[in-house]
Amino acid sequence: MNDFNNTIVPYPKEKTIFGLFEEQVAKNPSAIAIEKGLNKITYTDLNKLANRLANLLVTKGVMPQDNVGLLVTRDFDMIIGMMAIMKAGAAYVPIDPEYPVDRQLYIFNQSKLKLVIANNDYPLKSTISTECFLKINFLDPGELNESNPPVNVASTQLAYTIYTSGSTGRPKGVMIEHHSVVNLILWVNTKFNVGPHDRLLFITSMCFDLSVYDIFGMLAAGGTIVIAENKEIQDVRMLQNLMIDYQVTFWDSVPTTLDYLVANLEQERPDYKHEGLKTIFLSGDWIPIDLPTRTKKFFPQAQFVSLGGATEGTIWSNFYIVEQVYPEWRSIPYGKPIYNNFFYILDEQLKPVPTGEPGDLYIGGVGVARGYANDAEKTNAAFIPDPFNSQLGGMMYRTGDTGRMMPDFNMEFLGRKDSQVKINGFRVELGEIESVLNKSELVRSCVVLAKKGPDGNKRLIGYVVPKATFEKETVTAYLKTKLPDYMIPAVWVEMDKMPLNSNGKIDRNALPEFTDTLLQRKRLLQPITPTEKILTSIWKECMGLNEISIDDNFFALGGHSLMAVQILSKLEKKLGRSFQLAVLFKYPNIQLLANFIDNDKKETTYTCLVPIKSTGNKTPLYIIHGEGLNVLNFSSLAAVMDKDRPIFGLQAVGLNGIDEPLDNLPDIAKFYLSEIIRHNPTGPYLLAGYSFGGYVALEIRKQMAAMGKKVEKLIMFDTDAEKSEYKDWYYILPKKVKRNVPILLSFLKSSILHPITNFRKKYKNPEPGFLSKYFLKKETKNFYQLIKKIKDKHLYAFRNYKMEPFDGKVYLYKAQICVHYVYDTEFLGWKKYALGGVVRYDVPGDHLTMITPPNVEAFAAILSASLDEKEETIQTTEMADTTAGIKTLV
């Protein structure tokens, strides 16, 4: 980290922003500073106009350290006003005339503006004191002194306060000092050889911090600012012409603007070429991974630079020059810190994370803002002492972004931390999905959001601007090769173009709401056959949706075991046929399920064996069900497991309501074994059991050994070996009290303080339990009566089964929160039976939550890594930390 942040170099920290401009006035007084249309202003004239206005402000009582609002349109007035305010010793606070008056007034009050200068009588004038509103002619402010104002301005004074977009809640005013901008400007102009020959096309808002470099960086270099009018910014064809007509050499924007410009060139002007553009700066949002290559065709001499940072870090804090795009990239690299800036990737304890591991991004160095205007609480939360470097201010900014260090010691940006959402319990990083989509050849741009549906559950919605015809099936199939199923959007919306805000960024708040998107899906597949119509009606009712496409995936729509029971129970009532829950693994959408039903196929080739994830070329893993009897609860595990690992489940005999449940454990094992061997006659075999399934797995291994077959690994998912042994009541009772009394006290306290809320929370979506049997409909209740019958048989089988020691290992995946009443809390009693040793992996969660999100993600990582280990490399005396969990071998 020290080498990565070895960025400290001397810079003229005593200088001010306008001081750099004044140096160029002295060097090139007749050079053109600003152009707009046919109008031009030289450096000398710009300086005189700014001085006249600055001196006017001084006469109006503006003093150093004051804040002055600037309420103007994008014109010469804007740049004259910014420069004049700083020359008067104050900080400029830009206010967009297009903002609602309420927002304008908030900025006025929050920054305690001494004065607002404007080029028109805007509505804000009537809401503040008339003495505080100054309408002037910026090009002729009066007969005032044209010399530099006799005001001492320290470089540590505020230069400006820019308010963030405020998409949630009230905006925050970011306060930046002169010396921070000076460092940034001189780094850019030195690193990229920006000078008097350069001409920058100004297309951003003054309320967006890119404008700070666009204006003051170019003026510090002696170059020319070409101001594009609003109508030109909104017409990519006019922008293309401006680039050539004004011989623009420097482009600075958010990625969306350039992407639209290049896309239009590809479609309408494939022969367009501008050799004069030498520098392209992109920042502020995800850069489409193919954009550098596409751009090169039209601007062959341009150097393509990706920059990052935050308004709170003075525009940019890091950069990466894109010379070539590599196939393995998931996104354009975030790069390295600029001069006198530091970047840290830290965990929640503010400790650096290892290379390759994701962490929170922090910015340190001279670019760190002073804080938020008159908001100590938010300032203290976001700006904290830098524990790694006390130089250059000694503070660092918590960006709210996540990233990781790549092996070549360039950072990779992973997205906003607050864009991480929970879908069906899984942690999902929306930026990761967008990154994968943008890397494809299928879409021009995309946004993925998580929005609540009518049932209150969040679902992923993909908004895409396709490169050609949008094919939902093609996009979904592509994503499935890159991402787990729970990260595949359930709803897709084809857009002609993305809505943009005033800063040129995609306006996510302007995208259609959930209910609208379902209606706008252009490829919503309607049911055709009678069975499809029956299924669609049932799915809508049970899932609380108004519209469902017959190719929508049950699990992607938020389906779970209770919902599956309700759907299949209603289906049995409609068709007079019963179906096992496992049918939804094989036929997870209406179209497939209806086809299966209409062709009168057998429910499955096997009675108990269920293909949870049948694809992959590694040794298949067979998982024996727990006390829940079915294997739907392993769908979350399968979704995040190694994609090359096939996973099959063994569910209980009798779930189809036809076969008689078994009440002898060796017979249960024999039946499951026959299904496994019929599926995989020669092996190899990986055998796992969850809870009760662990005892069955042990018996299957015993029977396989008698047949001369070998189980590569016998795996227990938190199965308690001591449960088969008798324990005195005086041993169990204290443990039961210790475990249950705190839960009871917590429940009682919550019920007393919030009785209605607590009741709703606990029983709004009841799992099968003591109250749910009264709430569930008759057909669903019948299903749980069947479940109870099978459980009673299995309990009888377990109580009459005697476990015996065996010559082999047990691989125990033990929940970190132990809920078992055991003497051996370390190995759950398995050392007594596994004479070859016990390999233990600690998994987050308890016995139930270890296989549910979010814990199942860590569990899957541990399991996937350990299944890949070679048996001969495991030594029975070692103890080591793994990257996923604690592994203990005895």
Please tell me the distance from the alpha carbon of residue 316 to that of residue 391, in angstroms, as a whole number: 19
- Asked if the model's pLDDT at residue 302 lies above 90, the reply is yes
Judge whether 198 and 224 are in contact, CB under 8 Å: yes
Q: Check residue 729 and give its pLDDT.
A: 41
Q: Which of 519 and 341 is assigned the larger pLDDT?
A: 341
Please tell me the distance from the alpha carbon of residue 420 to that of residue 762, in angstroms, as a whole number: 26
Model confidence band, residue 514 (pLDDT cutoffs 50, 70, 90): low
- Asked if the model's pLDDT at residue 485 lies above 50, the reply is yes
User: Alpha carbon of 606 to those of 90, 579, 580, 599, 873: distances in Å?
Assistant: 79, 13, 11, 18, 36
Model confidence band, residue 415 (pLDDT cutoffs 50, 70, 90): confident
Rounded average pLDDT over 310-325: 94
Q: Which of 890 and 782 is assigned the larger pLDDT?
A: 782
What spatial distance separates the first Cα and last Cα of the chain, rounded to whole Å?
A: 38
Model confidence band, residue 605 (pLDDT cutoffs 50, 70, 90): low
Please tell me the distance from the alpha carbon of residue 131 to that of residue 823, in angstroms, as a whole number: 81
Q: Which of 356 and 280 is assigned the larger pLDDT?
A: 280
Q: Check residue 643 and give its pLDDT.
A: 81
Please tell me the distance from the alpha carbon of residue 846 to that of residue 850, in angstroms, as a whole number: 6
662 sits in which H/E element: none
Model confidence band, residue 518 (pLDDT cutoffs 50, 70, 90): very low
- Asked if the model's pLDDT at residue 44 lies above 70, the reply is yes
Burial class (CB in 10 A: 0-12, 13-18, 19+), 765: middle
Q: Check residue 30 and give its pLDDT.
A: 96
Neighbouring C-beta atoms of residue 653, cutoff 10 Å: 21
689 sits in which H/E element: strand 685-690
Q: Check residue 732 and give its pLDDT.
A: 44
**Lowest-confidence range among 167-176, 319-328, 509-518, 623-632?**
509-518
Q: Which of 855 and 711 is assigned the larger pLDDT?
A: 711
Name the nearest CA neighbour of 435 among 412, 452, 410: 412
Q: Check residue 852 and give its pLDDT.
A: 80
Q: Which of 435 and 518 is assigned the larger pLDDT?
A: 435
Judge whether 697 and 715 are in contact, CB under 8 Å: yes
Please tell me the distance from the alpha carbon of residue 141 to that of residue 136, in angstroms, as a whole number: 6
DSSP string, 439-454: HSSSEEEEEEEEEE-T
Residue 783, both tokens:
């299903």
Q: Which of 505 and 738 is assigned the larger pLDDT?
A: 505
- Asked if the model's pLDDT at residue 754 lies above 80, the reply is no
Q: Which of 713 and 145 is assigned the larger pLDDT?
A: 713
Q: Which of 289 and 160 is assigned the larger pLDDT?
A: 160
pLDDT in tens, 199-237: 999 999 898 899 999 999 999 999 999 999 888 887 888
Q: Check residue 673 and give its pLDDT.
A: 94
Kindly report the average pLDDT of the chain as a whole number. Answer: 83
Q: What percent of the chain has a predicted confidence (pLDDT) above 90?
A: 46
pLDDT in tens, 261-281: 998 899 889 999 999 999 999
pLDDT in tens, 577-593: 877 666 777 788 898 88
Please tell me the distance from the alpha carbon of residue 554 to that of residue 533, in angstroms, as a whole number: 16
Name the nearest CA neighbour of 246 among 198, 295, 183: 198
Model confidence band, residue 414 (pLDDT cutoffs 50, 70, 90): confident
pLDDT in tens, 231-257: 888 788 899 999 999 999 999 998 888
Structural domains for the chain: 1-16+178-415 (3.40.50.12780), 38-154 (3.40.50.980), 424-523 (3.30.300.30), 607-727+777-890 (3.40.50.1820)
Q: Check residue 766 and give its pLDDT.
A: 39
pLDDT in tens, 764-788: 333 333 333 333 455 456 666 777 8
Rounded average pLDDT over 625-643: 81
pLDDT in tens, 155-167: 999 999 999 754 3
Please tell me the distance from the alpha carbon of residue 842 to that of residue 826, in angstroms, as a whole number: 10
Residue 691, both tokens:
């809870």
Q: Check residue 1 and give its pLDDT.
A: 78
Q: Check residue 363 and give its pLDDT.
A: 97
Q: What percent of the chain has a predicted confidence (pLDDT) above 70?
A: 84
Judge whether 811 and 715 are in contact, CB under 8 Å: yes
Q: How far is CA 304 from the centre of its chain?
A: 26
Judge whether 623 and 654 are in contact, CB under 8 Å: no
Q: Check residue 743 and give its pLDDT.
A: 47
**Lowest-confidence range among 2-6, 92-96, 434-438, 741-745?**
741-745
Sheet holding 279-282, edge to edge: 39-42, 32-36, 224-227, 199-202, 250-253, 279-282, 303-308, 318-322, 336-337
Cross-strand bridge partners of residue 380 = none
The DSSP secondary-structure symbol of 651 reads: P
- Asked if the model's pLDDT at residue 112 lies above 90, the reply is yes
Q: Which of 54 and 654 is assigned the larger pLDDT?
A: 54
- Asked if the model's pLDDT at residue 347 lies above 60, the reply is yes
Cross-strand bridge partners of residue 715 = 688, 811
pTM: 0.58
Q: Which of 847 and 565 is assigned the larger pLDDT?
A: 847
Q: Check residue 835 and give its pLDDT.
A: 93
Q: Check residue 136 and give its pLDDT.
A: 85
